[in-house]
Chain A
Amino acid sequence: MSGLQTRREWLLSDSPVSRGQARWGQSYRIWLALTANRLAMVGLWIVIILALLAIFAPLIAPYDPLEGIGGLRGARLEPPSWSHPFGTDDLSRDILSRVLHGSRLTLLVVLLVAVIATPIGLAIGTAAGYFGGWVDVVLMRITDIFMAFPRLILALAFASALGPGIENAIIAIAITAWPPYARLARAETLTIRETDYINAARLQGASSLRILWGHVTPLCLSSAIVRVTLDMAGIILIAAGLGFLGLGAQPPQPEWGAMIAGGRRFIIDQWWVATMPGLAIFIVALGFNLLGDGLRDVLDPKARK
């Protein structure tokens, strides 16, 4: 108990003795502020549960997500019951099992889009901010052009040119997702560019590439990651929209948007087929939104009011 107490005191010390202590202390304060926000914690738990469900989906799911129970017509369009809490769809598949397996696809889309779009945005933004002049004008014009399309529309156009499929949907979403990160990274680079330690690195003969990669990008990374977290809900909704329009994951893959499209025909009499996967999208998007909202409140003192 006392050991825990001292660690807490070490973290919250007003006069940190090392850089590490200061950094850990700051992270701990952010964490404390975040845990004090009840809605943000709800969001965090939703995201954690999503991750756990996605990892253990094959163990948790009671039925096979792709095979109908007792053949195609064995248990067709059964309403929610104890054996099928979410009911079954028109091919006798257990909807709960499909929703659980679908969480893997959702998580895959979100993670891959973040992994593809963030580096593109960072590279373009830091280069524009660091070099300035013509490079800046051209790169930022390109960024503005991509922002001039509504995101879903641009993703639709790319996805339809690339052809349907979840990989192409991920590429299409990533292509439309990077511009905000580029803007953010450019703004940060502009303030970093003139600092003494960048000048020092330059005087030591470091190449532009080395300065950008080794000194500027790491400093832009944390705000880009926060921004990605804020965008996750939007990414999930766009992915679901693409799936709903038939451009994302293809049947029989249990993608939530595509499942809603599949249940659309039965919405009046067998409401559960479209409702359950939609509920899953809604809860997960809400979780990311709550978490993102809380993060913004904690990290941006101007927004905290």
Chain B
Amino acid sequence: MALPSPTQTEGRASALPAFLWNATKLLLTVAVTLLGLLLVTFLISHVISVDPVLAVVGDRASKSTYDKMFIEMGLDRPLYEQFWIYVQKVLSLDFGKSFLTKKDVVDDIARAFPATLELATLAIIIGTVIGVPLGIVSAVKAGKPIDQFVRIIGLIGYSAPIFWLGLLGLLVFYAKLDWISGPGRIDIAYEYSITPATGMLLVDSAMQGQWEAFRNAFSHIILPASLLGYNAMAYISRMTRSFMLTELAQEYVITARVKGVPEWRIIWVHALRNAAVPLVTVIAFSYGGLLEGSVLTETVFAWPGLGLYLTNSLQVADMNAVLGGTLVIGTIFVGLNLLSDLLYNVLDPRVRRRGGKS
């Protein structure tokens, strides 16, 4: 009675190292991937680029100016040395200066980031709140007209170019119906009344109790966020449907039915709880996918976020800014994938136990 059963101690003793081993492996993978991201952006800027010097000095520069810049940019050194310098710079958060804004790229990105975060967060909320119930309904009514309907709604979301939908949305809801505000984040009248805290206007204005400004900011964000959310919804509802179909075919569902548990409870409590685990990882993953959609959406809606910064820099071949933006978005993407992996490990008891055993 005093002695714990041997299996119990064994389980505890081996669980920790296994977990640590997995964590180390995961971190190592992430580190290699991030280094790879650096390598790819380095190759783009130093090898593929037609002429990085010309982009800086312009085509009217004299030969001596050109040569001076060539050496100043370190292009005369061997590639591996250039890469090493590049890594050091990036690790100390030095992405260079932007030719367009004449400021440090890091500062530009830090200023633009909250706008994108706000847009993407509202979009993922919209996508989840609509997508999950739609997916559940179409799984329960699989093959019925409602299932076909949801499928077609999703296919439209996969097929329509988001920048085109944005333009049509502006035409209909802004120009014709006048339900929402046009491009931009907020009307100029309110622009300086909000003290920046988080940089997210909805959060800031709500915290400061400025409901007029909040309503104005909301009327600006609702259309781009809905369009981005629609994209996410198409994916989330499809995945929810397939997870729910798997769960509803499990034996515990039959057992619950035999015991006389009401059908709504089986669907929304028993099955959904099990489908929720992979679903959380899907949502985290599609949050990363929104970064991609935000580039085009922000361009259409003149939304001053990371995407617009990136596309404005693209137009003038401002490579420092382009690569800084690309690197930041890539890193966030990797981080979100890592997060969705971790969430899966933490939430799914089966994975947790398997990790302990091995």
Contacts and interface: CB of A to CB of B under 8 A. Distances in A.
Interface in A243-275: 244-247, 257, 260, 264, 267-268, 271, 274-275
Interface in A117-154: 141-142, 144-146, 148-154
Which secondary structure dominates chain A's binding surface?
helix
Interface magnitude class on chain B? 35 or more
A68 interface: no
Given A148-B37, A149-B333, A285-B158, A268 B295 contact: no
Contact of A285 (B159, B295, B333): B159
A274 B49 contact: no
B326 A268 contact: no
A267 B323 contact: no
B161 interface: yes
Contacts of A282: 156, 159-161, 164
Interface residues of A, number: 45
Nearest to B334: A148
Given A244-B296, A267-B170, A157 B159 contact: no
B329 interface: yes
Given A145-B33, A245-B299, A257-B161, A278 B168 contact: yes
Nearest to B49: A161
Interface stretch (B107-115, B314-322, B344-352): B314-322
Contact of A148 (B33, B292, B311, B322): B33
A161 B289 contact: no
Interface in B38-57: 39-41, 44-45, 48-50
B261 interface: no
Which secondary structure dominates chain B's binding surface?
helix
Contact of B160 (A141, A142, A285): A285
Given A161-B44, A286-B159, A148 B337 contact: yes
Given A145-B33, A157-B41, A278-B164, A150 B171 contact: no
B292 A145 contact: no
Contacts of A57: none
A247 B314 contact: yes
B90 interface: no
A184 B163 CA distance: 31
Given A286-B159, A289-B158, A305 B48 contact: no
A282 B170 CA distance: 18
Interface of A: 141-142, 144-146, 148-154, 156-158, 160-163, 233, 237, 240-241, 244-247, 257, 260, 264, 267-268, 271, 274-275, 278, 281-282, 285-286, 289-290, 293, 303, 305
27 contacts: A142-B36, A145-B33, A145-B37, A150-B288, A150-B289, A150-B292, A150-B330, A150-B333, A152-B295, A154-B40, A156-B295, A156-B322, A157-B326, A158-B44, A161-B50, A163-B317, A244-B161, A244-B299, A245-B311, A267-B171, A268-B175, A271-B171, A274-B167, A278-B160, A285-B158, A289-B158, A290-B155
